């Protein structure tokens, strides 16, 4: 049997996005970003909803090629591309 893990960013008062769908409030610290990156590295399959998929798939496939990409973003982009997704 495999382990199922559910992860979601949410403010303490229950918000996922600001008015207009803005997710800028949830930019993680370096430490939290590394934690999420490590989770992605250990994930066998990711299941995305439409809105999250639209945001992730428009950024991460080429994020490591962008000017100024940090080592953490480069690592995450590779992990994200390699992870099977549904």
pLDDT reported for residue 20: 80
Report pLDDT digits (tens) over 33-56: 899 899 889 888 888 888 889 888
- Which regions in the chain score pLDDT beneath 70? 9, 25-26
Residue 15: Cβ within 10 Å count:
12
The predicted pLDDT at position 28 comes to 80
Tell me the C-alpha distance between 48 and 60, whole Å: 14
Nearest Cα to 9, choosing from 23, 30, 29, 20? 23
Partner residues linked to 41 by β-bridges? none
């Amino acid at each position: 049997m495999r382990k199922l893990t559910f992860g979601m960013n949410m403010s303490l008062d229950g918000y996922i996005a600001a008015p207009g769908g803005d997710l800028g409030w949830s930019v993680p610290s370096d430490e939290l970003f590394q934690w999420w990156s490590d989770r992605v590295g250990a994930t066998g399959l990711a299941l995305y909803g439409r809105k999250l998929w639209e945001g992730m798939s428009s950024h991460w496939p080429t994020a490591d090629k962008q000017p100024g990409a940090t080592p953490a973003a480069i690592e995450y982009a590779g992990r994200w591309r390699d992870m099977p997704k549904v």
